[in-house]
Chain A
Amino acid sequence: MSERTFVGGIHPGYFKDYSSGKPITSARAPAQVIISLHQNIGAPCDPVVQVGDEVKMGQKIGEPKGFVSAPIFASVSGKVTKIEPFNHPLGNPVLAVFIENDGQDTPDEGMKPGKTLEELSAEEIKKIAKDAGLVGLGGATFPTHVKLSPPPEIKIDTVIINGAECEPFLTADHRQMLEQSDDIVYGLKAFMKALGATKGIIGIEDNKFDAVESMKKAVAEGKGDYDIEVHTLHTKYPQGAEKMLIKATTGREVPPGALPMAVNVVNQNSGTAVALAEAIKLGKPLYERVVTITGPGIKEPANLLVRNGTLVKDLIEQCGGMTDDARKLILGGPMMGLAQPTDEVPALKGTSGVLVLTEEFVKDLPISPCIKCGKCLDVCPMSLMPNFIGSASEKNMIDLAEKYGAMDCFECGCCTYTCPAKRPLVQWIRIAKGEIGARRKK
């Protein structure tokens, strides 16, 4: 039963024990939140509040500039003190709204229960997802309402809830599957209704046996008329990558360059399902999320419900601070997360984890020439030629990099992890992808 998987992939250390046993608790609300106005793939938001305004918790403060974008909400009640650029996990400073917390958590008027799922139409569910500012919470932050709006000629038949959580260290999805399983099933049903899908699948790696049990129980109790199955997946990175998950659960292969809807599937992260359930049941927009604060460099790892705009520094302090040998701060997981130069960076909608690694993980290993062992080909889930793409990109031979499949790489990092010559293959592939992308735009 746990044979569902894909070809390729790696078995790194999983390091889930730091935090998998820690129930979700609310993080301390900071005295000031700094809410970035760019929190999704696609267009950023324009501020719709001004300095000096009093805002309520859940009030919209950022209005999207395009279709592929999502509104942004205040995560505390209080006063807007500044609107100016601030540190952003992607590197360059981004316009942010600074709100001084009044400690009252006065909710916005819009935060109240509306119609039940039974009463809602498909269009109404899409509107709720859009108005609540939902984005993919696995880390990619693709606006949810866009995924719920396939072109009319495409019929979505299956919605897959991604509970694989294949990134080492991270346990936020795991905890939500244990503690909020009913909401995940509710959210899945809402996704299915919005898309007219007939089948719902929840995919979970078999290293989270308790989550599988918990979700099976919730599905049995809550699925009603919906056809929903829990699939136990082989534990292997990157099992939770969109295309790999679809292959493992449905056997379908998404063609190169295409989106899951090309094979009539929509993927949603388990956390996004919870967010949709809360948006429908409580009228609650997306202003907080579960974040795993973990790693050997964190004294007391935890799974925290974190308000948008809380500084990472604040979260780390609440977890006992960094250990003396902490050397690297990563937002997200260790395979695809972004290393940060400072802890003064705000948690965003897409912040699934705050990972602190120690000296032993940060060795600066010398890079050797490629010895053509081919191990990167064996692990590449996309069956590309990472060694050849890397070498071509290293020599700035961009056409060659494209020929070997650079644009199909989704940067899972399996090749770089595996490479015995310690070659930064993904880094070179990213460079090639940037070059190829720029050329195609011309």
Chain B
Amino acid sequence: MERKLVVSSSPHLKSPEDIQSIMVDVLVALFPVALMAVFLFGYRALATMVIAMLAAMVTEAIILRKGNLFGDGSAAVTGLLLAMTLPPAPPWWVVVVGSAVAIGIGKQIYGGIGNNIFNPALVGRAVLIVSWSGHIAGNVWLKPVPFGFTADMVTQATPLATKAASLGNLFIGTVSGSLGETSALALIIGGLWLYHRGHIDWRIPGSFVAVVFILGFFDGGFSMGLFHVLAGGVLLGALFMATDMVTSPVTPVGKLVFGAGCGLVTMVVRLFGSLPEGVTFGILLMNGLTPLIDNLTLPKRFGEVSKSA
């Protein structure tokens, strides 16, 4: 029997890692955050996350006319990340619209995975903020009730609005806020997992958090610096949103510039703007600058003495 040999261009070995395995790693990294959200905000948070993920996956399946709902896993990640930025219990249709916008206008309109300019989850969130601010901001922040799976809804103002919360509570997460942003502990565990798996670099979260801390420090000393890092969406943004591969720079120096820019815009909005929080707009603005940053920060080639034009 004549054996047919396959001919292809080298290399002939490929890493087992693919896009789906990366997305699964991101979902694993978000698991402690999701667990903490359910622990603090009960079944409503769980419902919000499930609806957001399902709506995102269904939207993508419809646009791509594909039968495989999970696919490469990126839609599930976008949906879950969007849920993380929402209050624990918005109306279900707001969540669905947010996910549909995230996938449709945030991602597929550019040509799908890899081609979008802006972080899809944050595009979804931005549209919800300007369209239904009453459901997304304002008097919507549930008071956390640990183990209160079916506890009654009681709202309270967020730490960013009141500037009053102990650093310990901010670290554990027993404060009100978006369902995925309150627990610094859970976010850091997830971030360490992504770092361990090689999916994020220290540079973006590092420069993002450093700039937030430094500007907070100038505003009100060491504890205010820490407060600004732990309160609101800075850690969620720095570890999971700004590090989105598609919409952040690839060069080492570019990553530092990008993270610092996110931190700067966040703090300008927080300290001088009319909104309490600026993470979303900080990251979206820097997303738009990403191609420019990459091209201005090309790395020095091996053996290159000085930057040649």
Q: What are the residues of chain A within 8 A of B72 when measuring CB–CB?
A: 368
Binds A, one of B5-13, B165-173, B273-281: B5-13
Give the distance to chain B from A72, nearest Cβ to Cβ, in Å: 26
Q: Main secondary structure on chain A at its contact with chain B?
A: loop
Give the distance to chain B from A259, nearest Cβ to Cβ, in Å: 11
Partner of A336, one of B10, B112, B245, B298: B10
Does the CB pair A420–B5 fall under 8 Å?
A: no
Binds A, one of B18-26, B36-44, B212-220, B221-229: B18-26
Name the CB-closest residue of B to A370.
Answer: B114
Does the CB pair A337–B10 fall under 8 Å?
A: yes
In the complex, whether B307 has a CB less than 8 A from a CB of chain A is no
Partner of A339, one of B3, B6, B19, B22: B6
Q: What are the residues of chain B within 8 A of A420 when measuring CB–CB?
A: 15, 17-19, 21-22
Name the CB-closest residue of A to B255.
Answer: A374
Does the CB pair A373–B14 fall under 8 Å?
A: no
Q: What are the residues of chain B within 8 A of A327 when measuring CB–CB?
A: 4-6
Does the CB pair B303–A253 fall under 8 Å?
A: yes
A-B contact pairs, 23 of them (CB 8 A): A256-B304, A322-B3, A328-B7, A334-B11, A335-B12, A336-B11, A340-B7, A341-B7, A361-B13, A365-B14, A369-B115, A373-B199, A373-B250, A377-B251, A377-B252, A387-B250, A408-B302, A418-B17, A419-B15, A420-B18, A420-B22, A426-B11, A427-B9
Does the CB pair A372–B114 fall under 8 Å?
A: yes
Does the CB pair A337–B12 fall under 8 Å?
A: yes
Q: What are the residues of chain A within 8 A of B305 when measuring CB–CB?
A: 255
Q: What are the residues of chain A within 8 A of B67 when measuring CB–CB?
A: none
Chain B interface size band reads 35 or more
In the complex, whether A223 has a CB less than 8 A from a CB of chain B is no
Number of A-B contacts (CB under 8 A): 149
Partner of B12, one of A334, A368, A370, A373: A334
Q: What are the residues of chain A within 8 A of B14 when measuring CB–CB?
A: 365, 416-417, 422
In the complex, whether A29 has a CB less than 8 A from a CB of chain B is no
User: Which 8 pairs from chain A and chain B are nearest by CB?
Assistant: A413-B11, A369-B114, A374-B250, A427-B9, A253-B303, A373-B245, A334-B12, A255-B303
In the complex, whether A226 has a CB less than 8 A from a CB of chain B is no
In the complex, whether B299 has a CB less than 8 A from a CB of chain A is yes
Does the CB pair B5–A341 fall under 8 Å?
A: yes
Q: Using an 8 Å CB-CB cutoff, how does the interface string of A1-36 with B read, 1 for contact, 0 for none?
A: 000000100101100000000000000000000000
Whether A426 touches B302, Cβ cut-off 8 Å, given contacts A371-B246, A420-B19, is: no
With a 10 A CB-CB cut-off, give which of B3, B8, B13 has the most chain A CB atoms: B13
Does the CB pair B114–A368 fall under 8 Å?
A: yes
Q: What are the residues of chain A within 8 A of B5 when measuring CB–CB?
A: 327-329, 339-343
Name the CB-closest residue of A to B112.
Answer: A369
Chain A interface size band reads 35 or more
Chain B residues 167-202 with CB under 8 Å of chain A are 198-199, 201
Give the distance to chain B from A48, nearest Cβ to Cβ, in Å: 34
Name the CB-closest residue of B to A355.
Answer: B12
Whether A371 touches B19, Cβ cut-off 8 Å, given contacts A255-B305, A327-B5, A408-B302, is: yes
In the complex, whether B248 has a CB less than 8 A from a CB of chain A is yes
In angstroms, Cα B5 to Cα A372, docked, is: 33
In angstroms, Cα B11 to Cα A422, docked, is: 11
Q: A357-B12, A383-B299, A422-B18 are in contact. List 16 more A-B contacts (CB 8 A).
A: A13-B13, A255-B304, A256-B301, A327-B4, A339-B12, A368-B19, A369-B112, A371-B246, A373-B199, A377-B299, A416-B11, A417-B14, A420-B15, A420-B19, A424-B9, A426-B9
